[in-house]
Structure 1
Amino acid sequence: MPSLDISIPSASTNSTGAKPYTAYTIQIRAPLRTRSLQKRYSDFVAFDKTLRVQAGAAPPAPLPAKSWFARTVGNDALTEERRRGLEAYLRAIDSSPDDRWRRSAAWRAFLELPEEGSTKSKVLGNIGLTASGGVVMDAATWLDMYGELKNQLREARLYLTKREQAQQAQAQHEAGANAKGALVQAGALIRALEEGLKGLSGGGRNGDEGAWGGVEKLGDGEVRRRRDMIGSAKKERDGLESVLSAMAVKSAASTSSSLSGTTAVASEGDKQGLFRGGAPGGRGRVLGAPAKETERTRELDNEGVLQLQRQIMQEQDEDVQDLTKVVRRMREMGVAINEELVLQNQMLDLLDNDVDRVQGKIDVARKRVDKIR
């Protein structure tokens, strides 16, 4: 487990309860964001006891000694000394070559860290929820997800390099499957980022207002910058997928050419294996037969196929939603045209009445003119 950048920059006195206490602010810095949380000295004591039990050994640095004078409100010198001791305690665990303390559940729970190895899975697991509107994405989460997208593209590039350098078919297949899985996950991340950017720019799915409720919006310049980031990542992903497809076609061509040049005769067992699982007599449909492989599923494992299926279903849902919007818009246009036609008919009726009235006046005027003559 990689080490963190942990510090305790300050301590404050909380007097809201019946008994005042000192709260220490723990700051955890990451490349994309910084988190802060507050803990009391009693929390450190409970954490230390649990950590000793789970790790089976004492931490590399002891907790600062407990002193009655440190409880005195306004004793800044003792509070500062304890703050430095607690900071040294956490940093000793974080920088220790032995990571058994950092891998314990107590360490993750105390610092409110995700489960081990779930930094990636947490982001990927929320993709479907984000795209469906179940999770509200803020600006910092968006950057975390973009960082995970870059990691997926980097992994896909590394696997493609391994596939190109591999000499055996099994190694090529494994590297290609891993690259395809990374690209599928990258595609899901791109769609989630696009959906999240709509919410951050005020174009979400929350009714006609089109905004994620309770999330601050980004400025137009920042929205354009992040949209360009998505565009460049999408181009990179498409390029890597094209390279993978070309590798697959090249591998299939070389395999077929090698098979066409062989003179080996199929054994009786091989012949029987061709019809194994079929209907009696070799006719009829075989229930539960595997689906035909395509270029998109050729080098995917079970998890990759499942992720690809979710991606296709999500794309279909988005197409249905777009179609629903078009049909609703056409219906609104039809209703508006009908209302306009009704209004025009009423105006024509009024014009017809005015013409009849004016025609009657003209007839009366002509009769009077005839009498004068």
Structure 2
Amino acid sequence: MSFAKAATADPIQSVSIPSYTRLTAKPDPHVAFTVSVSLPTRSYSIQQRYSAFTALQQKLAATCGAPPPGELPPKHPGSWFLSPFAGARNLSDDQLDERRQGLERWLRAILADRDPRWRSSRAFKDFLAAPPQGDAEGAADGATATARDWTAGAWTAEHAALEGLARQLRTTLDRRDTQLLANSAQAHSTAKEGKTQLVDLVRRVGDLARGLQALAKDGMTEGELQRRSGLVQRLQGEIEDLGRKTGSGPRVGAGRTGAAGNASAGEEETPTGARQALLSGAKAPARVLGAAAASKSLETPETRALDTGGIMQLQQQYMDDQDSKLEALTAALRRQRHLGEMINAELALQEDVLDQLETGTDRVKGKIKEANKQMKRL
């Protein structure tokens, strides 16, 4: 089993509501509940009011096809008779603490339920300002994890797996060359297998390189990061060599046909011609991709060894990586917004305290002035 399969599928490890705050700042005084979220690599807190919990429950019931497990704590009967502008902030501390515990049980019930549709929904993650769920893709011996799932041991295991995959790819290419020399009909399928392995190897090495960024954020020493960066560079050099080997060998199907146009005529290339092609090291003409007719921009060593399907798969991987980065950026901006709201609420609270202090100071000054007048009369 690969480390990605053993990792937790959901980035949210636990949630809790340790406290609440009465916000009296106008024009929207309310009670905010502090929600603490624990991720595999960090923890953070946001503040949500009770109405946000009820809105989330309605959204989950509408988008997931069924209401979430557990029940939200109902409004206190006494709050029904309060002014709509007062609401929960006029409840007692015991009543608010009871509501806090009920909201915490409700969130934990969603997170612990065997059915993942509620906790994996975008509405739930947006409510908690959580990063997008790490996606894993199956590969030869497992899958790679996104950068937020990397640990030192997982990185080492993935590096060892990629070294084994590189050796396996070299063996596949050697077998392809042998089959071409023997004019075997299996050469085409072997070459296609090698290209598929190369695409997977390129993708996973890219993930491995991005994993170093996560390890650096987790506090890995500079020396260890440099050592691992050297390992990645050597692996990338090995991949470039394998890419050249994939593209420099006899063309796929050369053992059976002299060219694609001669396939229908049944003209087969002799083993001697295939051997000469191998010894000469002749490379296939470089393709020009996209709007290359005007720019004459040739393909990179990464795409040179790939067929059209492989290039499309590599392009799709790049697009998926960009989408993942955009989702992570969106989650970070959402957390920044919550931090800004918390700072604004704290400033409003401090301003209210300063106003009360100023009012008390004026009252005390008035009393002192009146006392001084009486002292003078005495």
Q: What is the TM-score when the length of structure 2 is the normalising length?
A: 0.50
Shift of 1:161: 3.7
2:311 counterpart (295, 301, 307): 301
Q: What does the per-residue CA deviation read over 1:297-338, in whole Å, with 9 as the maximum and x for residues that have no partner?
A: 535735757999xxxxxxxxxxxxxxxxxxxxxxxxxxxxxx
| 2:254 aligned with 1:232 | no
Shift of 1:251: 5.7
1:291 counterpart (291, 298, 313): 298
Quote the residue 1:345 is aligned against: none
| 2:119 aligned with 1:102 | yes
Quote the residue 1:33 is aligned against: 42
CA distance in 1, matches of 2:195, 2:256: 25
Preserved CA contact (<8 Å) 2:31 2:89: no
Shift of 1:58: 0.9
2:95 counterpart (78, 82, 90): 78
SS, match of residue 86 in structure 1: helix
Shift of 1:173: 2.0
CA distance in 2, matches of 1:98, 1:146: 24
After superposition, residues 144-223 of structure 1 pair within 5 angstroms as 158=161, 161-162=164-165, 164-165=167-168, 168-184=190-206
Preserved CA contact (<8 Å) 2:147 2:207: no
Preserved CA contact (<8 Å) 2:208 2:232: yes
Preserved CA contact (<8 Å) 2:155 2:211: no
Relative to structure 1, is the Cα distance of residues 81 and 270 closer, same or farther in structure 2, using a 3 angstrom cutoff? same
Stretches of structure 2 that go unaligned for 5 or more consecutive residues are 1-8, 80-87, 137-145, 173-189, 266-284, 286-291, 319-378
Shift of 1:53: 0.5
Relative to structure 1, is the Cα distance of residues 154 and 180 closer, same or farther in structure 2, using a 3 angstrom cutoff? farther
Aligned AA (1:235) = G
Preserved CA contact (<8 Å) 1:159 1:179: yes
SS, match of residue 301 in structure 1: helix
| Equivalences, count | 243
Aligned AA (2:200) = N
Aligned AA (2:112) = S
Aligned-pair identity (%):
22
Shift of 1:256: 4.6
CA distance in 2, matches of 1:54, 1:295: 42
| 2:12 aligned with 1:17 | no
Preserved CA contact (<8 Å) 2:246 2:305: no
Preserved CA contact (<8 Å) 2:68 2:118: yes
SS, match of residue 31 in structure 2: strand
After superposition, residues 255-294 of structure 1 pair within 5 angstroms as 256=250, 262=255, 266=259, 268-269=261-262, 287=293, 291=298, 294=301
CA distance in 2, matches of 1:258, 1:72: 75
Shift of 1:97: 1.9
Q: What does the per-residue CA deviation read over 1:162-216, in whole Å, with 9 as the maximum and x for residues that have no partner?
A: 56557644343223212213434655786x89xx99xxxxxxxxxxxxxxxxxxx
Preserved CA contact (<8 Å) 1:8 1:24: yes
Relative to structure 1, is the Cα distance of residues 226 and 271 closer, same or farther in structure 2, using a 3 angstrom cutoff? farther
| 2:41 aligned with 1:57 | no
Quote the residue 1:329 is aligned against: none
CA distance in 1, matches of 2:104, 2:150: 30
Aligned AA (2:72) = L
Greater C-alpha radius of gyration:
1
CA distance in 2, matches of 1:46, 1:305: 39
Q: What does the per-residue CA deviation read over 1:331-363, in whole Å, with 9 as the maximum and x for residues that have no partner?
A: xxxxxxxxxxxxxxxxxxxxxxxxxxxxxxxxx
Q: What is the TM-score when the length of structure 1 is the normalising length?
A: 0.50
Relative to structure 1, is the Cα distance of residues 189 and 307 closer, same or farther in structure 2, using a 3 angstrom cutoff? farther
CA distance in 1, matches of 2:230, 2:209: 11
Shift of 1:52: 0.6
Stretches of structure 1 that go unaligned for 5 or more consecutive residues are 120-143, 198-221, 273-277, 279-285, 309-373
Preserved CA contact (<8 Å) 1:8 1:27: yes
Aligned AA (2:65) = G
CA distance in 2, matches of 1:154, 1:17: 55
CA distance in 1, matches of 2:192, 2:155: 22
SS, match of residue 301 in structure 2: coil
CA distance in 1, matches of 2:19, 2:242: 56
Pick 1 or 2: higher relative contact order, CA cutoff 8 A, min separation 6. 2
Preserved CA contact (<8 Å) 2:243 2:304: no
Q: What does the per-residue CA deviation read over 1:248-275, in whole Å, with 9 as the maximum and x for residues that have no partner?
A: 566668x559989x47555744599xxx
Preserved CA contact (<8 Å) 2:158 2:208: no
CA distance in 2, matches of 1:258, 1:109: 49
| 2:52 aligned with 1:43 | yes
CA distance in 2, matches of 1:105, 1:5: 17
Shift of 1:154: 6.2
